[in-house]
């Protein structure tokens, strides 16, 4: 869904973006991290926006792929231990010894297992299938040290129980810590008054920022406090209903590139575009050879960008539909047009029957050599196509850039020619691949024409061969 104006206004104030890890940056069960996450961190850095991880995990539980993104801050163990990317401590607040001792005593009394998040490692009170099911996807196999709290600082504790959802802390413990469920059989046991939100607060204070300058991406219960705190909150498509209700915007899931898409909508990152027409050698796709009575026009097709147009063209070509058809309209320094079996410019239909819709890509343009669909208005594509021959344009590169064309495309137009005024009006679906084809194109463009720009001597498509 589109981002509303209020949310876009909030985005203009953002100076730092925080991310939860599990099922936000990364799918917890599979470890999958979309490739777009690299573009997210790179794009935010280029815009001077800081990044932070805000997680229930300890720093030792942050996977290598996320460390490689070089976040500026790590709010770890639900806000109790905060460092910058140099490892310098911003905040360090372990639990009091009497609290950890009372917690262990309670666990023993009700007969459940427990665990501790230390500064440098996590430990559990015992090994069991129930504990491993919860903790191994996060930290791997943990050491068994039931008395860890007696000789080490503890920042957070865990309960492990079959009936975890029914657990309730006794009053004396509830005055100091609270339960935050995160797994069917486990809850974080976190100090009262401390959360990922308070940890983020220490980062903002360190950077002289305020909550309105912060954005958070999250999905679960331990993101509730931070959603109440920051200026802009984005829930993942897989987030809990409670978190979605608090969000300014609900994006897609991890697998759907939810983070990148939300930030792009908000104008905080830009999609990394690749222009196949500027690097044809690296493009995979079918090649069509239009054999004419003036020579061959060899064209690389772009099925990933214009699947309908390519499928239509290939189907018609392989069926022999274009065999013997003429280029019925030729305008020197503009384009050559064909594909109408009636030779009038008024006929032809698609391989689907009738016409089909336009396919406009941010990565394809009507540069000199482009193969595009001819039409009679929006979404009226049939069998007719044209090849752009214009060797020059009446605009300067800077004019095109100011008009919104990407710099590499503006440069290609300025150097080689084309018809930028046809962009977003005609579907580009292929491009000439070699100099020999351009020579044939120019030769055809220079033939003598009569009324309605029809050649006096027919320029014939003998056949079109397609190799996959």
Note the pLDDT tens digit of each residue in 159-181.
999 999 999 999 999 999 999 89
Same domain, 203 and 135: no
Task: Please report whether residue 444 resides in a domain.
Answer: yes
Same domain, 259 and 199: yes
246: Cβ–Cβ under 8 A, 6 or more apart, which residues? 224, 227, 228, 233, 235
Of 177, 65, 71, 73, whose CA–CA distance to 116 is shortest?
Answer: 177
Task: Please report whether residue 371 resides in a domain.
Answer: yes
- What pLDDT score was predicted for residue 464? 98
- What pLDDT score was predicted for residue 173? 96
Task: Please report whether residue 114 resides in a domain.
Answer: yes
- What pLDDT score was predicted for residue 1? 61
> CATH code at 254?
3.40.50.1000
Q: What is the DSSP letter of 449?
A: B
Same domain, 287 and 255: no
> Greatest CA separation found in the chain?
100
User: Containing domain of residue 351, as a range?
Assistant: 276-467
Over range 441-468, report the average pLDDT: 96
Q: Please count the other Cβ atoms lying within 10 Å of the Cβ belonging to residue 12.
A: 9
Q: How many domains does the chain have?
A: 3
Same domain, 59 and 114: no
Give the pLDDT confidence of 85-144 residue by residue, as tens digits.
999 999 999 999 999 999 999 999 999 999 999 999 999 999 999 999 999 988 999 999
> CATH code at 120?
3.30.1240.10
Q: What is the pTM of this model?
A: 0.64
Residue 379 a catalytic site member: no
Strand stretches in 335-442, DSSP E: 335-338, 370-373, 385-388, 428-432
Same domain, 44 and 104: no
Task: Please report whether residue 144 resides in a domain.
Answer: yes
Same domain, 62 and 114: no
- What pLDDT score was predicted for residue 3? 84
Give the pLDDT confidence of 181-225 residue by residue, as tens digits.
989 999 999 999 899 999 999 999 999 999 999 999 999 988 999
Q: Read off the pLDDT band of 29 (50, 70, 90).
A: confident
Task: Please report whether residue 270 resides in a domain.
Answer: no
Task: Please report whether residue 117 resides in a domain.
Answer: yes
Give the pLDDT confidence of 386-411 residue by residue, as tens digits.
999 999 998 899 999 999 899 999 99
Same domain, 355 and 449: yes
Indicate which residue of 4, 20, 133, 281 is catalytic: 20
E strand or H helix at 180, and its extent?
strand 177-183
Same domain, 65 and 174: no
Domain boundary among 175, 191, 207: 191
Mean pLDDT, the chain, integer: 95
What percentage of the chain has pLDDT greater than the value 90?
A: 92
Distance in angstroms (rounded) separating the CA atoms of residues 251 and 36: 14
Task: Please report whether residue 24 resides in a domain.
Answer: yes
Over range 227-252, report the average pLDDT: 96
pLDDT above 80: residue 2: no
Same domain, 312 and 452: yes
Task: Please report whether residue 27 resides in a domain.
Answer: yes
Domain boundary among 147, 164, 191: 191
Give burial (CB, 10 Å; 0-12/13-18/19+) of 394: exposed
R_g (Cα) of the chain, nearest Å: 31
Q: Read off the pLDDT band of 468 (50, 70, 90).
A: confident
What percentage of the chain has pLDDT greater than the value 70?
A: 100
346: Cβ–Cβ under 8 A, 6 or more apart, which residues? 340
Give burial (CB, 10 Å; 0-12/13-18/19+) of 222: buried
Same domain, 14 and 102: no
Give the pLDDT confidence of 257-305 residue by residue, as tens digits.
999 999 999 999 987 788 999 999 989 889 999 999 999 999 999 999 9
- What pLDDT score was predicted for residue 271? 78
Same domain, 340 and 227: no
Domain boundary among 129, 158, 191: 191
Rounded to 5°, angle at Cα 74 from 72 and 76: 175
Structure tokens at 396: 């300067």
> CATH code at 374?
2.40.100.10
Over range 360-368, report the average pLDDT: 96
Same domain, 23 and 157: no
């Amino acid at each position: 869904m589109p981002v509303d104006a209020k949310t876009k206004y909030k985005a203009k104030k953002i100076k730092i973006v925080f991310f939860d890890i599990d099922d936000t940056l990364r799918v917890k069960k599979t470890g999958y991290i979309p490739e777009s996450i690299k573009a997210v961190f790179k794009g935010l850095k280029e815009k001077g926006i800081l990044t932070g991880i805000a997680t229930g995990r300890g720093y030792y539980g942050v996977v290598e792929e996320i460390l490689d993104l070089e976040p500026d801050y790590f709010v770890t163990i639900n806000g109790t231990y905060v460092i910058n990317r140099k490892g310098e401590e911003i905040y360090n607040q372990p639990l009091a010894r009497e609290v950890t001792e009372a917690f262990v005593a309670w666990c023993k009394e009700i007969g459940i297992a427990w665990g501790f998040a230390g500064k440098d490692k996590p430990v559990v009170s015992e090994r069991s299938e129930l504990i491993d099911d919860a903790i191994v996807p996060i930290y791997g196999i943990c050491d068994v040290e039931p008395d860890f709290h007696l000789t080490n600082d503890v920042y957070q504790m865990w309960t492990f129980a079959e009936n975890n959802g029914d657990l309730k802390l006794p009053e004396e413990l509830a005055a100091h810590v609270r339960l935050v469920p995160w797994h069917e059989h486990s809850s974080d046991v976190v100090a009262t008054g401390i959360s990922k939100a308070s940890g983020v607060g220490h980062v903002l204070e360190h950077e002289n920022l305020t909550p309105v300058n912060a954005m958070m991406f999250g999905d679960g219960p331990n993101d509730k406090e931070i959603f109440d705190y920051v200026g802009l909150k984005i829930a993942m498509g897989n987030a809990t209903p409670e978190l979605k209700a608090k969000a300014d915007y609900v994006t897609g899931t991890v697998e759907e590139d939810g983070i990148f898409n939300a930030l792009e909508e908000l104008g905080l990152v830009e999609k990394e575009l690749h222009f196949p027409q500027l690097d044809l050698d690296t493009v995979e796709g079918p090649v069509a050879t239009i054999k004419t009575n003036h020579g061959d026009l060899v064209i690389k097709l772009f099925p990933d960008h214009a699947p309908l147009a390519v499928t239509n063209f290939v189907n018609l070509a392989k069926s022999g539909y274009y065999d013997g058809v003429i280029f019925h309209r030729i305008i020197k320094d503009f384009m050559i047009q064909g594909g109408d079996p009636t030779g009038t410019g008024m006929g032809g239909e698609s391989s689907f029957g009738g016409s089909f819709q336009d396919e406009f890509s941010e990565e394809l343009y009507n540069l000199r050599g482009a193969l595009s669909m001819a039409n009679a208005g929006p979404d009226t594509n049939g069998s007719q196509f044209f090849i752009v021959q214009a060797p020059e344009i009446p605009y300067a590169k800077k004019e095109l850039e100011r008009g919104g064309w990407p710099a590499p495309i503006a440069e290609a137009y300025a150097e080689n020619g084309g018809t930028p005024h046809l962009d977003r009006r005609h579907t580009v679906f292929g491009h000439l691949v070699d100099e020999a084809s351009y020579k044939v194109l120019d030769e055809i463009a220079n033939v003598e024409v009569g009324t309605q720009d029809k050649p006096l001597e027919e320029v014939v498509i003998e056949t079109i061969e397609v190799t996959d």
